[in-house]
Structure 1
Amino acid sequence: MRKRLYRAKDDRMIAGVCAGIGHYFDIDPTLVRLIWVFLFFGAGFGLLAYIICVIIIPEEY
């Protein structure tokens, strides 16, 4: 079975990006959210990166 990256519907907080990444890599979505906040928002371009991910990553069907 082929793994696909998608925005999750079941464990989403805002748009499901972090939950989808967590499901793809088989890790807890909360851990992905923490990493996202520290790495991306700490560097200053997190909001832009998140918006780009929302646009590019398809939603789970």
Structure 2
Amino acid sequence: MLLLILSVVFLLLVGGCVCVYWEARGDAPRWARGVAKATLIGSELARSTRRSSRSRQSNGDD
């Protein structure tokens, strides 16, 4: 069951990356542009979450 969930998440990530590439080329349909935008927003949220957790860890080491 865990393998199935991880496989679905992996396929969603790959699909999002394909949509970002497709949208960057400029010939993507509207749905692919929406998926690309959601993928980019998700990556920014993950990046900001990781940064904030790192800053909390470095402040706690003082």
Question: Common fold, TM-score beyond 0.5?
Answer: no
Q: Which has the larger radius of gyration?
A: 2
| Greater share of residues in helix | 2
Q: Which has the higher contact order (CA 8 A, sep 6+)?
A: 1
TM superposition score normalised by structure 1: 0.28
TM superposition score normalised by structure 2: 0.28
